Amino acid sequence: MSNIGKAFENKKAFIAFITCGDPDLETTVEVVKEAVKNGADLIELGIPFSDPTAEGPTIQGANLRALTGGVTTDKIFDMVKELRKDVSVPMVFMTYANVVFSYGAERFIKTCSEIGIDGIILPDLPYEEKEEFHPVCAKYGVDLISLIAPTSENRIARIAKDAEGFIYVVSSLGVTGTRSEIKTDLESIVKAIRENTDVPCAIGFGISRPEQAKKMADISDGAIVGSAIIKIIEKYGKDSPKYVGEYVKSMKDAIA
């Protein structure tokens, strides 16, 4: 089992997504620490991309604010090194294929393993294109996280069988962002996943409220929250760490 598995040991996992450098990297460090202190079991660190095609307006805004602030992949690597002195929960990067590709897959993934990044999520890298990065990920022991969507249907078994770390189950059609209601038949999707793998699966996209998180975590092994956290950071800026902490606690308490 990879380090990521620890996030799911004997409990439902709460996974927090944070865009690095929104509004600056110092704030990101404090937000992560507060989230972990208040119960986040796994941290997804977003490396901003100029054209995040899988994101809704909230996370698009965070990407833009971070890039405008001058954040780069190298500065984020340095930040993670610092963060690892205090934070021991699993951490993964969430970014787009071109960020990894342009840095050089080998150089990027090797650095991930050296600074304590346990996995990578790339929403524009489907199963068919995994070979682009998977051999390098395997070489350095960094999990390449698979996504399964409401439209995956006949693809679920294949994706699940090869999955590692955890499986990111996309709750709804469309892009990231909070939703009042999630209508997908997620029980069936999770059932199909579990028939094919023991790798834990967590549900994300559209989750913002404690009762939604509880419902999703009851069905699966955990809940992933991004846009709702980004909204708090957008609202409070440098003062956001304590507010994110309070929010994470309310979500974690709901699913525990």
Partners of 204 in the β-ladder: 170
Q: Least distance (Å) from another protein to the CB of residue 107?
A: 12
The token pair at 52 is 């995040």
What is the C-alpha separation between 213 and 56, in angstroms, rounded?
19
Closer residue to another protein (CB): 172 or 212? 172
Strand pairing report for 13-19 and 42-46: parallel
Strand pairing report for 119-121 and 201-204: unpaired
The token pair at 225 is 């929250």
What is the C-alpha separation between 136 and 111, in angstroms, rounded?
12
Closer residue to another protein (CB): 150 or 241? 150
Among 129, 198, 239, 246, the residue binding another protein under the rule CB under 8 A is 129
Q: Least distance (Å) from another protein to the CB of residue 36?
A: 27
Q: Under the criterion CB under 8 A, does residue 49 sit at the interface with another protein?
A: yes
Q: Least distance (Å) from another protein to the CB of residue 179?
A: 11
Q: Least distance (Å) from another protein to the CB of residue 217?
A: 21
Q: Least distance (Å) from another protein to the CB of residue 241?
A: 26
Chain-centre distance for alpha carbon 57: 17
Helix, strand, coil % over all residues of the chain, rounded to 5 = 50, 15, 35
Q: Least distance (Å) from another protein to the CB of residue 122?
A: 9
What is the footprint of another protein within residues 165-184 (CB under 8 A)? Answer: 170, 173-175
Among 16, 40, 89, 125, the residue binding another protein under the rule CB under 8 A is 125
Among 43, 91, 136, 148, the residue binding another protein under the rule CB under 8 A is 148
Beta strands (DSSP E) in the chain are 13-19, 42-46, 91-94, 119-121, 143-148, 167-170, 201-204, 222-225
Among 13, 32, 91, 159, the residue binding another protein under the rule CB under 8 A is 159
Among 3, 58, 73, 184, the residue binding another protein under the rule CB under 8 A is 73
Q: 19 vs 65, 70, 149, CA distance in Å?
A: 10, 13, 22
The token pair at 39 is 């119960």
φ, ψ for residue 152, nearest 5 deg: -70, -35
Among 24, 97, 115, 209, the residue binding another protein under the rule CB under 8 A is 97
Q: Which residues bind another protein (CB under 8 A)?
A: 49-51, 53-54, 56, 60, 67, 72-74, 96-103, 123-129, 132, 146-155, 159, 170, 173-175
